[in-house]
Homo-oligomer: A and B are copies of this chain.
């Protein structure tokens, strides 16, 4: 196990090592069986393969059974596509447009795949990121017979690769897959190697604890190993990621950030867990990005601020540049294009303080617990008893997937849900009588913050929780929420609900 402390020492000389079968993308795509389980690298919309999926889409383009001129001329693909997190349009648009994807796991963030899922054309299931590696390694999630892992890398050897802008679950995918196809992308700098820290968890019941003793420690090296002989093809590619685009922080974002900062200032004084440092995670997205950026304004005394989360977004880069963040651990460099350029220009320096880990370490339940991470995630809606919907609009229409929100919300000693009090320009309250879908239960949610305030739910009964949460709702909805609570209270019980009207507010889409 390599634990080079000098970032430069983790960067290999050259991209292709040893006697490697370099082919073009179309040839590589022929190694993907029509009905294969195709594992792909990628997380946070970066580090995904680009050329082979496009070649597959090209090959399938004539295969549609739609009466068109070229019907039946192409490959008839029915792939099960498994990624670590969200990937680019080369997969979740191009392959969807040719009906090449039958199944998709466990997270997506593009309109084409999303529409196909909600129309029932693609069978989708979201999974916790921390357990996805085991799900594919030990079976039960997908059929791995004839499966292929298609992975973007900055360097490759006969039995190893170095991932590009994300690590995710790629180490588990190349272990589970029968064969491996690597895209070596020359637009992804070799210096990305300096960020990566790959650790492979053992097999239960003899699985050792993950030996990480601090959020910024390194316990592996940049290489992902796989069995010699699995490497089917290498394709030399170009092309940048199409990462997330964040909107500028809104007034509501900044008000939420202010409340969060105030709350954290009190909490770090109250609890012995934060005597020396605050370890924190933020969910992916524009609000999370804004909250990260604003955290520099909180007065944490002499405490170090440390990020232990899933993705590195631009807000964290700002904090690093300002000297306000000691270190960051994540599984993806999910930066904007501008953020990637800042990072690439000075990769070795950033790699002193930034570690990109495997997804089962970045999101490891045991590590979130041991490091005492404060989790801050957003949501679609929160109900009056603290149940949280993160995934399905109106209870049924999937957005992206549960991702890592469950890993952090469930295992953090302090779990915060931060969200604007309304959606749709004020037409929808995000504080609702009853969550139309539940991803995180009342047992896991400690604090809810909106632009209207902080509801500290710890130690409260459901009735007390409801009263606190009404005060975080938009004023326009508070009377109606109280009226709901009166109706529910009349039915009695520990957690009073009025099932006849609980969903009267829910947007039916």
Q: Which A residues are closer than 8 A to B by beta carbons?
A: 103, 105, 117-120, 123-128, 131, 134-135, 138-142, 203-211, 213-215, 270-273, 276-277, 279, 365-366, 369-372, 387, 392, 394-398, 402, 406, 410-411, 413-414, 436-444, 446, 458-464, 488-489, 491-497, 499-500, 502-503, 506, 508-509
Contact = CB atoms under 8 A, between A and B. Distances in A.
Contacts of A443: 126-128, 402, 406, 439
The A interface is mostly helix, strand or loop, or mixed, namely loop
Given A395-B497, A396-B492, A503-B499, A140 B271 contact: yes
A237 to B, nearest CB: 30
Nearest to A500: B503
Nearest to A207: B370
Given A138-B413, A392-B494, A503-B499, A439 B441 contact: yes
B370 A365 contact: no
Contacts of A206: 213
A397 B141 contact: no
A494 B131 contact: no
Contacts of A209: 209-211, 366, 370
A397 B497 CA distance: 10
Contacts of A213: 206, 208
A392 B495 contact: yes
Contacts of A142: 459
B205 A215 contact: yes
List the 7 closest A-B pairs by CB distance, nearest first. Answer: A204-B372, A396-B493, A209-B209, A366-B366, A398-B494, A123-B461, A438-B438
Contacts of A392: 493-495
A493 B464 contact: no
Contact of A140 (B436, B446, B500): B446
Count chain B CB atoms within 10 A of each CB in A135, A370, A411 and give the residue with the most: A370
